[in-house]
Copies of this chain bind each other. A is one copy, B any other.
Amino acid sequence: MNPRRISKPIQIGDVIVGSGNPIAVQSMAKTDTRDVVSTIAQIRELEACGCEIIRVAVPDAEAAQALLAIKRAINIPLIADIHFDYRLALTAISADVDGLRLNPGNISEPEKIKVLAKAAKEKNIPIRIGVNAGSLPKDSNPEFTVAQQMVETALKQIHLLESFDFDLIKISLKAFDVPTTISAYQDIARKTPYPLHIGITEAGTPRTGIIRSTVGISTLLYLGIGDTIRVSLTAHPREEVIAAYEILKSLNLRSRDPILVSCPSCGRAEVDIIKLAKQTEEQLIKINKPIRVAVMGCVVNGPGEAKDADIGIACGKGKAVLFKKGKKIALIEEKDYLAALMREIKRF
């Protein structure tokens, strides 16, 4: 795995993004921002499942005016997502949001950026330059690839902000096409010191979108690129947060939950391993410690993997061996598999 790219840190509320800090997990509320009650409820639900930064859409003045009430009622940093109308960003700044996201595809006029840079700087509010392949500026160079156009668009806005002495900058360059997205991030990573918010845009429904997002995000992370991640799914944002942590866990970049190792089952298994793994997974949701649990169905890799886990079970015919830190601790009957496993996990 490549060492993590060193980036210039920024502070979003109490979360530091960049420069070796933990890769922050963020999501976006899908409620109507003007519906303050529903928006706060959804954000609190996301906080409970580990979301560390939340963004809300600010499509009009009423939504911008709702930001203050939302900000006061939540515990994680709030980012206002602004398109087209720079005055909405000014309202958001006066509501003390923790960050802004501007799309240079629809707000890029120097005089507007100048006003925003000044107002944001006074309050130390960082700005994400959020480039999206679906909304590139009309004057993008058509001879460039989409990746190059995205990078070009970001660089222009970066230079503009820098010319107004503003450097609390974060950058994202999202496309639906994964190789395009990866190549754009690799390029911008070389060209600027700013932290990067990574993700794949419009990735789709969970069935396909989780895989598409994971391919893009995990490859970038493997290459050492990315300071904060958002998994975009056409689904409840809770699914985005859960998926984000699974990606980070798979690369050993963050761990806060139990890890379940379970074999895929095959013609060798003499127990319904799919059912046992599912039941174990459901029980593990309530366990808040980074414990490694193995549920294995046969004698090939079973004992090996089960021994490597903190708590493991290797099932044979009607009986299973329970392992704790590599040591056999019990031989158990089939009817007791789940109960015995969970008892040891809770004790651990």
Q: Mark A residues whose CB is within 8 Å of B.
A: 1, 28-34, 39, 56-59, 63, 81, 83, 103, 106, 132-136, 176-179, 182-183, 201-205, 207-212, 214-216, 218-219, 222, 232-237, 240, 242-243, 246-247, 249-252, 260-269, 273-274, 277-278, 281, 294-296, 298, 300-302, 304-305, 308
Q: Which residues of the partner chain B approach A301 to less than 8 Å between Cβ atoms?
A: 132, 134-135, 201-202
Which of B201, B278, B302 interacts with A134 by CB under 8 Å? Answer: B302
Distance A29 CA – B266 CA, assembled complex (angstroms): 6
**Which of B132, B240, B265, B304 sits near A136, CB closer than 8 Å?**
B304
A281 and B265 CA atoms in complex are apart in Å by 29
Q: Is the interface of A mostly helix, strand, loop or mixed?
A: mixed
Is B32 touching A300 in the complex (CB atoms < 8 A)? Answer: no
Pick the residue among B134, B205, B266, B300 that contacts A260 (CB under 8 A).
B205
Specify how many copies of this chain sit in the oligomer: 2
Among B30, B202, B247, B264, point to the contact of A202 (Cβ < 8 A): B264
Return the chain B residue nearest A216 by Cβ: B250
Q: Tell me which of B214, B267, B295 contacts A33 (CB under 8 A).
A: B267
Closest to A222 in B: B219
Contact (Cβ within 8 A) B300 A83: yes
CB distance from A174 to the nearest CB of B (A): 9
